[in-house]
Amino acid sequence: MASFEYEILIGRSDPAAAGGVVWYLASDMRRSLGDHLPLILNTLGHDGWEVVGIGDIGFDARTEILMKRSL
C-alpha cells in the first residue's frame, strides 16, 4: 500500500515581497521559502512534492496550497 506525506504551503502578506506574498511550509513557519511561487513549486517538485489541491484551509483571506509526496 502506498504511503504519502502531506504538506501545506502558506502565503503571508509582506509588502516588500514581489506580489506582496512570502511563502512558508506549514511544518516550518520560521523559514521563508521566498516570494516567487513558480520557483518554489519547481524546487519542491524536484524534491518529490506535487500540488494536489488548493483551498482556504485556514479560513483567512489567502488560499493555501496542499501538497503530497510518496514516502
pLDDT confidence of residue 7? 97
Residue 54 makes CB contacts below 8 A (sequence gap 6+) with: 63, 64, 65, 66
Q: What is the pTM of this model?
A: 0.88
Note whether 1 and 71 are within 8 A (CB): no
The parent domain of residue 16 ranges over 4-70
Tens digit of pLDDT for each residue in 44-68?
A: 999 999 999 999 887 877 889 999 9
* Sequence-separated (6 or more) residues with CB below 8 Å from residue 52: 66, 67, 68
Q: Can you give the pLDDT at residue 19?
A: 86
Q: Are 64 and 2 in contact (CB under 8 A)?
A: no
Can you read off the three cell numbers belonging to residue 37? 511561487
Q: Domain tally for the chain?
A: 1
- AA letter at 60: D
Over residues 4-49, the pLDDT tens digits come to 999 999 999 999 998 899 999 999 999 999 999 999 999 999 999 9
